[in-house]
Amino acid sequence: MTTPTDPVTDPATDDAGVAREAGSAAYVLALADDALVYAQRLGEWMTNAPQIEEDMALGNIALDLLGQARALYPHVGVLDGTGRGEDDYAMLRDERAFRNVHLVEQERGDFGQEMARLLWFSAWQCELHGRLAAGSDEVLAGVAGKSLKEVRYHLDHARQWVVRLGDGTAESHRRMQAALEWAAPYVDELFDDEPAAAAVAAGVLTAPPSSVRPSVERAVEEVVATATLTMPETPRWRSRGGRDGIHSRPMGSLLAEMQHIARSHPGATW
């Protein structure tokens, strides 16, 4: 291992009981939270997608993301020195301790909105995981390298649908364009450099998040153009705070649904 782990065994805790993850742990935790929370949202499509085939497709993508989260959480436990496991992070943290971006926590909208969200998220993951795979943290590089194949498929899925809906009927075109406008304010957070500063300094991430923005935008623009849609103008309001644990209203009910079994029956197994 070449990871420069900080000799922190007892991470400071602030008044809200939020552990302050040391070094690159904070960013790895953020990536795990992105994957977990989006997996939860995508799972809501089961029985709700336009066709059962699409239930399966979105369920598969959700499971891929859940797998990424499960691989990352124990590694965060090593990096932050607490030795916590996947359940500790996924089920026993409160809202303020989650570091995911607002994009993934937003409530399930129509199918076009989901494809707009998936397009941005998977295009971003494709670029980011490429950088992580070349990084200095062997565990993280391994997880990123494996997930890259999955993520490329997610991007392809979003692409197929955005093109079909955008270049489909007048109604599907209108709603797909509206979906792109809906997603636009949530994109900035993905490229925020500040939360990743320690990870970049440690060489875990070979380049700051903002450096992947041009290639992510190119990928999205290509899809949008093929779909006969137009890129939204830069939104005046943009989400922020997710990486600091400041979340939007839908996050509370998402966590309640996701965590209540584990919290109602502590330590239960089956």
* Residue 244 makes contact with another protein by CB under 8 A: no
* Residue 145 makes contact with another protein by CB under 8 A: no
Residue 250's alpha-carbon distances to 5, 106, 108, 253, in angstroms, are 35, 6, 10, 6
Segment contacting another protein (CB under 8 A): 20-28, 106-114, 141-149, 240-248?
Answer: 106-114
Length of the chain equals 270
Residue 203 has phi, psi (to 5 degrees) of 80, 5
Out of 74, 85, 130, 168, the only residue in the binding site for another protein (CB under 8 A) is: 168
On whether the CB atoms of residues 135 and 205 are closer than 8 A, the answer is yes
3-state secondary structure 225-256: HHCCCCCCCCCCCCCCCHHHCCCCCHHHHHHH
* Residue 234 makes contact with another protein by CB under 8 A: no
Out of 47, 169, 264, 269, the only residue in the binding site for another protein (CB under 8 A) is: 169
Which residues lie across from 76 on neighbouring strands?
A: none
Taking the complex as a whole, how short is the minimal distance between the CB of residue 57 and another protein, in angstroms? Answer: 5
User: Based on CB atoms, which residue is closest to another protein, 102 or 157?
Assistant: 157
Taking the complex as a whole, how short is the minimal distance between the CB of residue 226 and another protein, in angstroms? Answer: 13
Rounded distance, CA 18 to CA 206, Å?
Answer: 28
Which residues lie across from 13 on neighbouring strands?
A: 19
Q: Is 19 helix (H, G, I), strand (E, B) or coil?
A: strand
Out of 120, 124, 161, 182, the only residue in the binding site for another protein (CB under 8 A) is: 161
Residues 114-133 that bind another protein (CB under 8 A): 115
Residues binding another protein: what is the number (CB under 8 A)?
A: 22
Segment contacting another protein (CB under 8 A): 32-40, 51-59, 73-81, 255-263?
Answer: 51-59
Taking the complex as a whole, how short is the minimal distance between the CB of residue 156 and another protein, in angstroms? Answer: 7
- The closest of 46, 93, 41, 32 to 250, measured between CA atoms, is 41
On whether the CB atoms of residues 97 and 61 are closer than 8 A, the answer is no
Residue with token string 């919290």: 263
Taking the complex as a whole, how short is the minimal distance between the CB of residue 39 and another protein, in angstroms? Answer: 16
* Residue 222 makes contact with another protein by CB under 8 A: no
Taking the complex as a whole, how short is the minimal distance between the CB of residue 153 and another protein, in angstroms? Answer: 8
> What does the CA dihedral 125, 143, 243, 22 come to, rounded to 10 degrees?
-150
DSSP secondary structure letter of residue 108:
P
Taking the complex as a whole, how short is the minimal distance between the CB of residue 90 and another protein, in angstroms? Answer: 23
Out of 107, 156, 194, 222, the only residue in the binding site for another protein (CB under 8 A) is: 156
* Residue 202 makes contact with another protein by CB under 8 A: no
* Residue 57 makes contact with another protein by CB under 8 A: yes
Residues in contact with another protein by the rule CB under 8 A: 49-54, 56-57, 60, 110-112, 115, 156-157, 160-161, 164-165, 168-169, 172
